[in-house]
Amino acid sequence: MTIEITSKIKEIIRRNYNVKSFRLEIPAGAPDFKAGQFLSVSLGNDPQFKRYLSISSSPTEKCYLEFTKKLTESSFSRALDSLSAGDTLRIQFPFGKFILDESFPKIAFLSGGIGITPIRSICKYAVDKNLGIDIVLVYSNRSVRDVVFKEDFDAMVKSYPRLKVAHVLCEADPGFKCRVGLINAGVIKNEIPDYEQRKFYLCGPPQMVEAMYRILSEELGLKEDMVVRENFQGY
Ligand SMILES: Cc1cc2nc3c(=O)[nH]c(=O)nc-3n(C[C@H](O)[C@H](O)[C@H](O)COP(=O)(O)OP(=O)(O)OC[C@H]3O[C@@H](n4cnc5c(N)ncnc54)[C@H](O)[C@@H]3O)c2cc1C
């Protein structure tokens, strides 16, 4: 069951030039959630000022509930961007089925841009709980300035050797270890040689998720039930 509550912003963290994380106090009576689920954020009563956003924190991070928004030119984005610590907003959660199936010992994530938010939550959960699940993340972005949570993933890779992160950028950047281009079947075979043994999780803008799903199903022959998808409708 979802619950709608008012929550106060504890802290706002700039992740890159157009992405910010909003850390909220967890009010009494807030429901539990699973890593990878999403919430709705309402700024006032106008339904046009409501958006669905993944929870980017993990249930193991007990001091706050975090969501992370790519700030566009929209009225909602501008209203959100004008908020400060101490302001309140209405949230409703938990929603969604983009959650970890812990029965699979090996999984892979394919993500693009802001689609990393629920994956950050799931990876942080797996690391904090030391689940032992083998995880490969292939994360694509236009350029290095679009990458979100780089430091978080670097820290997770250090503390959890079963996590591997491969960055794919359209524009090469000296000093940033990555593949250049787009995620395609060749990249998946190279970065995830045992892809046939893994459950896949795809998250990002709908066009990207659809393209990844076609590669997995049509080019690499994965069955539908081995692929979990989360579409960020709205991009
Ligand atoms: C399950 C789920 C989870 C999601 N999780 C996340 C998440 O974790 N983080 C996240 O960022 N998004 C997430 N989304 C997408 C999110 O819900 C929004 O659709 C998205 O963030 C766009 O909202 P917006 O208000 O910024 O732009 P919208 O109002 O939806 O506008 C769409 C586009 O039009 C452009 N636009 C709108 N108004 C103007 C204007 N006045 N001038 C110029 N351009 C304009 C904007 O630049 C934007 O690119 C998720 C969606 C779903 C369904």
Supply angle C-alpha 66, 71, 74, rounded to 5. 125
* Cα 61 to Cα 92: distance, rounded to the nearest angstrom: 19
Measured by CA distance, the residue closest to atom 52 of ligand 1 is: 232
Ligand 1 atom nearest to CA at 96: 1
234 close to ligand 1 (CB < 6 Angstrom):
yes
Task: Determine the topology of domain 3-95 in CATH.
Answer: Elongation Factor Tu (Ef-tu); domain 3 (2.40.30)
- Say if CB 2 and CB 19 are below 8 A apart: no
Cα dihedral 156/54/69/162 (nearest 10):
10
**Quick one: which of 98, 108, 85, 88 has its CA closest to 35?**
98
The answer, yes or no, to whether any atom of ligand 1 lies below 6 A from the CB of 70, is yes
Note whether 85 and 12 are within 8 A (CB): yes
Tokens of 107: 């999984």
Helix 117-128 / helix 150-159 crossing angle, nearest 10 deg: 20
Q: Quick one: fold of 106-231?
A: Rossmann fold (3.40.50)
The pLDDT profile of the chain, 235 residues, written as one tens digit per residue, is 899 999 999 999 999 999 999 999 998 889 999 999 999 999 988 999 999 999 999 999 999 999 999 999 999 999 999 999 999 999 999 999 999 999 999 999 999 999 999 999 999 999 999 999 999 999 999 999 999 999 999 999 999 999 999 999 999 999 999 999 999 999 999 999 999 999 999 999 999 999 999 999 999 999 999 999 999 998 8
| Ligand 1 lined by 103 (C-beta under 6 Å) | no
Domain boundaries, the chain: 3-95, 106-231
Question: Is the whole model's pTM more than 0.95, yes or no?
Answer: yes
Q: Are 23 and 13 in contact (CB under 8 A)?
A: yes
Give CA separation, 3 vs 66, 93, 174, in Å.
Answer: 16, 6, 47
Residue whose CA is at the smallest distance from ligand 1 atom 48: 72
